[in-house]
């Protein structure tokens, strides 16, 4: 006996095929294949440095994911059950397809291997870890993902790609601050694709006010209309309790509640998760099927041919309007992206010039020989900050451009904006700065310089005093030689200092110029990728809208050609189709437990 959600999904697929929408049918078939997979994939997502990897380690009580202040997850890491510990790198294909190459690696070298492969520009897709754990024995797979919104947009793209095959999501946010606007938006976006979400509040051991943050976060979720559990945990306490066997400390960590929720709400409720996920996909498809049927009924409901022809003209008008808007949004996209590239490059040039002005001011008085390491660290920090700010601006402006382009579409739909518009690889680091040659002025050089300078003083004043009958070498000539020698040493020291300062400024200028060339090229490439992504997304969307409108126009044309009896017969058929879709949608609502939003479908 098949599962209820499977019957509903199969009926929806057949309805898509019957209504000449093979694109929707193919999308639902992919969803069906993923839901029949016995594995339960739980995606662990969140912004960078929120404790995602440490959370996974604490859940399985093993250091399977790399953690640390200087460590960042770069590709998804799949943690699943295995009889013996193992690890592998998967390369050469997208997450959704069968990989072309699977490379076993020692489990304790997994983090370094991932960093080496990803940093070298390879085609690394994900990392896989297998460990014997009771939590994973039922088919549960924990997927640690790169931080969403990280400086490298490839992290965001891989996270949203993994989201397409997730059965449930653990959204991670640390207790040092309340949920931000971007985190709430991310949570809403995740629930449109996967409604099975648990919000985990991490790092409660280092946040004294975590209970206040917990209550405020509950209020934020309630205002945002997000129905998700919120569980506070401390991975550090959990791992410490595991080492010492301290049950009280383990209970204080919050992980018993989290693991019980995972077992109860995910592992034991696999059928409920499937129903919710299928309900979201089926409801979206039914909405698109209902539109042309309702418009056909509206066209036939008018008495007489004149009203039907008016409906036909209206459908044609909407098609023409869509075509005009299509030309308009392409112009808007091209113009806005050109302005964006210009503004981003100007902003980066302005920031690097400010850094160079500060460098020049610094080396007007400072000696590079005394504080070069400190200056080099300062320069790298300022360049990193400039890169972060500049690229964050690029991403913000790109989202603004996407929203502006979306306003040119004549209908209101939930999927006007793409899930991800970010490139796969960008912003590799610039090579380290070359240290300038710093001239040394040692004691032997000072002595030699002093001797050269003193020779002229001794000779000059010795000749002058010899006219008075004094010998060439006397107290006056020796004193003058000492003064001249000291003056020579001071002049040479000043000249060497100026040369060191000039060399330091030149080295800094070269490094900043290398940084500007590399980073501006990366930003331009990212902007071109974003423009292509937006163009492809909105072109596909325009084609779908046009196909829907054309189907409505074809329905109206068929209505014009029918006589009254044929019109009545077709009306009965269309109402029967609409009734079938309404009934199917009601089954979807029942499947989701009444949590699927109403779409205004009625016979």
Reported as a single tens digit per residue, the pLDDT across 456-469 is 655 666 666 666 66
List b or e across 500-525, with b for residues whose CB sees 16 or more CB atoms inside 10 angstroms. bbebbbebbeebbeebbebbbebbee
pLDDT at residue 101 above 60? yes
For residues 154 and 537, the model is more confident at 537
Query: Is 433 in contact with 508 (CB distance < 8 Å)?
Result: yes
pLDDT-derived band at 487, boundaries 50, 70, 90: low
> Cα angle vertex 266, ends 188, 236, to 5°?
80
Q: Which two tokens stand for residue 493?
A: 């020291």
pLDDT at residue 95 above 60? no
- Of all residues in the chain, the percent with pLDDT exceeding 90 is 12
Residue 173: CB atoms within 10 A of its CB come to 25
DSSP states along 387-453: HHHHHHHHHHHHHHHHHHHHTTSSS--TTSS-S----SS--PPPPPPPPPP-----HHHHHHHHHHH
Residue in the block written with tokens 């997850």: 73
Range from 210-224, 434-448, 457-471, 473-487 carrying the lowest mean pLDDT: 434-448
Range from 80-84, 308-312, 372-376 carrying the lowest mean pLDDT: 308-312
Domain with CATH 3.40.50.300 in the chain: 37-268
pLDDT at residue 94 above 50? no
How many residues appear in the chain?
603
Q: Which two tokens stand for residue 296?
A: 């056909």
Reported as a single tens digit per residue, the pLDDT across 228-263 is 889 999 999 999 998 998 999 999 999 999 999 988
The pLDDT of residue 173 is 92
pTM exceeds 0.85 for this model: no
pLDDT at residue 272 above 70? yes
Query: Is 551 in contact with 18 (CB distance < 8 Å)?
Result: no
Q: Which two tokens stand for residue 240?
A: 């410490």
Rounded to an integer, the average pLDDT of 123-137 is: 87
Superfamily classification of domain 37-268 = P-loop containing nucleotide triphosphate hydrolases (3.40.50.300)
pLDDT-derived band at 96, boundaries 50, 70, 90: very low
Q: Which two tokens stand for residue 68?
A: 């640390």
List b or e across 207-227, with b for residues whose CB sees 16 or more CB atoms inside 10 angstroms. beebeebbeebeebbeebebe
For residues 484 and 127, the model is more confident at 127
* Three-state secondary structure call for residue 416: coil
pLDDT at residue 439 above 60? no
- What sign results for the dihedral spanned by CA atoms 522, 527, 530, 531? negative
Q: Which of 82, 18, 72, 80 is nearest to 47 (CA)?
A: 72
Q: What is the largest CA-CA distance in the chain?
A: 144
pLDDT at residue 201 above 90? yes
pLDDT-derived band at 159, boundaries 50, 70, 90: low
For residues 334 and 414, the model is more confident at 334
Reported as a single tens digit per residue, the pLDDT across 277-296 is 777 777 777 888 887 877 77
In the chain, the N- to C-terminal Cα span, in Å, equals 31
The pLDDT of residue 97 is 46
pLDDT-derived band at 421, boundaries 50, 70, 90: low
**Helices (H), ranges, 412-474:** 443-466
CA distance 582 to 597: 14
Q: Which two tokens stand for residue 94?
A: 């997208």
Range from 162-171, 210-219, 307-316, 369-378 carrying the lowest mean pLDDT: 307-316
Most confident of the ranges 140-154, 437-451, 479-493: 140-154
């Amino acid at each position: 006996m098949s599962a209820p959600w499977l019957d509903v999904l199969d009926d929806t697929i057949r309805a898509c095929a019957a209504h000449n929408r093979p694109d929707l049918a193919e999308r639902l078939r992919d969803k069906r294949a993923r839901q029949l997979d016995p594995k339960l994939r739980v995606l662990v997502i969140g912004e960078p440095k929120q404790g995602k990897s440490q959370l996974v380690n604490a859940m399985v009580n093993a250091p399977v994911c790399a953690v640390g202040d200087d460590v960042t997850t770069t590709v998804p890491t799949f943690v699943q059950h295995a009889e013996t510990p193992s690890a592998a790198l998967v390369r050469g294909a997208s997450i959704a397809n069968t990989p072309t190459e699977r490379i076993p690696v020692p489990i304790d070298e997994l983090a370094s291997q991932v960093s080496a492969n990803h940093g070298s520009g390879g085609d690394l897709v994900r990392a896989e870890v297998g460990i014997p754990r009771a939590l994973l024995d039922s088919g549960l797979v924990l997927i640690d993902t790169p931080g969403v919104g990280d400086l490298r947009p490839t992290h965001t793209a891989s996270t949203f790609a993994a989201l397409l095959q997730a059965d449930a999501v653990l959204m991670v946010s640390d207790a040092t601050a309340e949920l931000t606007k971007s985190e709430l938006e991310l949570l809403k976006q995740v629930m449109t694709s996967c409604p099975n979400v648990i919000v985990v509040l991490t790092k409660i051991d280092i946040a004294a006010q975590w209970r206040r943050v917990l209550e405020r976060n509950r209020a934020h979720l309630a205002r945002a209309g997000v129905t998700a559990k919120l569980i506070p945990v401390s991975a550090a306490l959990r791992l410490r309790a595991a080492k010492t066997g301290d049950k009280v400390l383990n209970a204080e960590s919050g992980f018993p509640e989290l693991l019980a929720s995972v077992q109860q709400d995910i592992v034991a409720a696999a059928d409920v998760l499937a129903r919710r996920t299928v309900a979201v996909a089926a409801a979206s498809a039914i909405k698109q099927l209902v539109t042309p049927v309702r418009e056909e009924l509206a066209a036939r409901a008018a008495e007489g041919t004149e009203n039907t022809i008016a409906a036909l003209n209206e459908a044609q008008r909407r098609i023409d309007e869509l075509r005009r808007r299509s030309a308009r949004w392409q112009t808007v996209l091209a113009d806005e992206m050109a302005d964006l590239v210009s503004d981003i490059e100007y902003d980066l040039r302005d920031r690097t010039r400010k850094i160079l002005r500060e460098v020049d001011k610094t080396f007007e008085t400072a000696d590079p020989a005394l504080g070069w390491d400190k200056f080099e660290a300062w320069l790298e920090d300022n360049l990193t900050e400039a890169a972060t700010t500049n690229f964050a601006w690029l991403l913000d402006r790109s989202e603004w451009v996407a929203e502006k382009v979306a306003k040119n579409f004549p209908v209101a739909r939930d999927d006007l904006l793409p899930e991800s518009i970010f490139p796969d690889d960008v912003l590799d680091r610039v090579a380290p700065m070359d240290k300038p040659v710093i001239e040394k002025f040692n004691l032997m050089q000072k002595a030699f310089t002093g001797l050269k300078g003193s020779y002229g003083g001794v000779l000059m004043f010795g000749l002058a005093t010899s006219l008075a009958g004094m010998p060439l070498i006397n107290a006056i000539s020796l004193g003058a030689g000492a003064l001249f020698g000291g003056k020579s040493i001071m002049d040479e020291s000043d000249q060497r200092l100026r040369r060191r300062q000039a060399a330091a400024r030149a080295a800094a200028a070269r490094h900043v110029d290398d940084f500007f060339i590399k980073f501006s090229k990366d930003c331009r490439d990212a902007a071109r990728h974003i423009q292509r992504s937006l163009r492809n997304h909105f072109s596909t969307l325009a084609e779908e809208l046009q196909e829907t409108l054309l189907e409505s126009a074809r329905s109206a044309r068929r209505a014009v050609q029918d006589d009254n009896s044929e019109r009545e017969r077709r009306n009965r058929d269309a109402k029967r189709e609409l009734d079938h879709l309404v009934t199917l949608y009601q089954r979807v609502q029942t499947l989701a437990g009444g949590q699927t939003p109403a779409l205004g479908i009625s016979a």
